[in-house]
Amino acid sequence: MGAVSRRNVTDHRQSGRRATIRDVAALAGVSHQTVSRVINGSSKVTESTRERVLGAIRELSYVPSPMARGLISNRTRSLGMVSAEISDHSFAEAVAGAEAETRKRGYYLIVASVEDESRDDERGYLRLMLARRVEGLIIARPSVPLSSEQLLPAVAAGVPLVAIGSSELPGFTVVDVDNVDGGRQATAFLVAQGHRRIATITGPHEWPSAQARLEGYRKALRAGRIAADRSLVETSPDWGLEAGQAAMKRLLERATPFTALFAQSDLIALGAMRELRARGLRVPDDVSVVGYDDIPVAEFVHPALTTVRQPIRGVGAVAARIVLDRLASEDARDGDSGPQRHLLPAELVVRETVASPRGT
């Protein structure tokens, strides 16, 4: 018997084929079923046989085939994530957060990074993921308005789906940073410093976060009993520096005086500051500025940018957690907890670009 076992080991090695559960069984001198029990921690195995099996597993460096397991269990232990370009720092953070959480729970994450131009092919990516039999989905494409119709394939497959940064999505859970409160904090801080004429440059209107931050801005003004002035609100066609500079130019040309600016992204803030500098206006002496995002360079520009930090990594992690929890509860058959909206708090980071208005 011992000799036979040895031969099996040799067979398996020479053939270059991976060891299977039967190879292990043969080497340990038990049935493949017993090996399965050992692997899956079934208690009903004698300690001595258990050790013999474990030894065989080690000797053959046996690793169970996820395909064979998945075939019978109908589970892949994988999540799919469709994200906007991950070369954008925010989305990279979201993916990193989701990936870490997913891995921690013994699942793995399949990521598709989608260029922003390719709109409307959400369904294609979903189908790709579903064809891989992912058990859950995370969608992080806030600039693309998702319709329930687009997400139909996922629903049909009964796969839990969570969106990141999208606007309210009937029937689906959305995770996001609390942009309303972020905008409110930024603006309220300016109000608290004594500013009453506060301009703002919003991000592109198709982004829900831009709307939310604007809402927060208005909220803070109301709280400070400051009348909103439409001519102090300008929209930037994208989140970048040059667009921010152009927006600031338009704002200044309106000749409505202001002493502070809330820019909805750090790059917009940087562009605005550049325009101010070009006109001989100083920050924060002439105009105070608050940005949004806390990008890596924000603390290094001069003067260092006061801004709002977003826990994007946390958003990714929470999204993954929700999907995985739903998967787990499905096992326990305790029903759906239903769609929700999860908001993580933003945090104001005070640095050097805000001062009290002149003459106070």
Which residues would be at the binding site for a second copy (CB under 8 A)?
Answer: 16, 18, 61, 63, 65-68, 70-71, 76, 85-87, 89, 92-93, 95-96, 99-100, 103, 108-113, 128, 130-133, 156-158, 241-242, 270-271, 274, 297, 300, 302, 313
Residue 173, token pair as written in the block: 């859970």
- Neighbour count for residue 312 (Cβ, 10 Å): 24
Question: Are 118 and 112 a contacting pair, CB within 8 Å?
Answer: no
Please pick, from the candidates 5, 9, 36, 157, the single residue that binds DNA as defined by CB under 7 A. Answer: 36
21 binds DNA (CB under 7 A): yes
Give the Cα separation of 236 and 268 in Å (integer): 8
Of the pair 31, 148, the CB lying nearest DNA is at 31
Q: Which is nearer to DNA, 28 or 220 (CB)?
A: 28
15 makes contact with DNA (CB under 7 A): no
Q: Which helix (H) or strand (E) holds 83?
A: strand 78-84
| Binding partner at 300 among a second copy, DNA, none, C-beta below 5 to 8 Å by kind | a second copy
Site string for DNA, 70-109 (x = CB under 7 A): -xxxx-----------------------------------
The two tokens of residue 300 are 């290094």
Task: Residue 302: name its binding partner from a second copy, DNA, none (Cβ under 5 to 8 Å by kind).
Answer: a second copy
The DSSP-derived string for 199-231 is: EEEE--TTSHHHHHHHHHHHHHHHHTT----GG
| 32 lies in the binding site for DNA (CB under 7 A) | yes
Is the CB of residue 276 less than 8 Å from the CB of residue 282?
Answer: yes
For the chain, the residue count is 360
Q: Does 33 engage in binding with DNA (CB under 7 A)?
A: yes
Beta carbon nearer to DNA, 21 or 163:
21
R_g of the chain, CA atoms, integer Å: 28
- The yes or no reply on residue 39 touching DNA (CB under 7 A) is yes
Q: Does 118 contact DNA by CB under 7 A?
A: no
- Bridge partners (DSSP) of residue 84 are 114
User: Within 13 Å, how many C-alpha atoms sit on residue 182's CB side?
Assistant: 31
220 vs 346, which CB is nearer to a second copy?
Answer: 346
| Residue 20 interacting with DNA (CB under 7 A) | yes
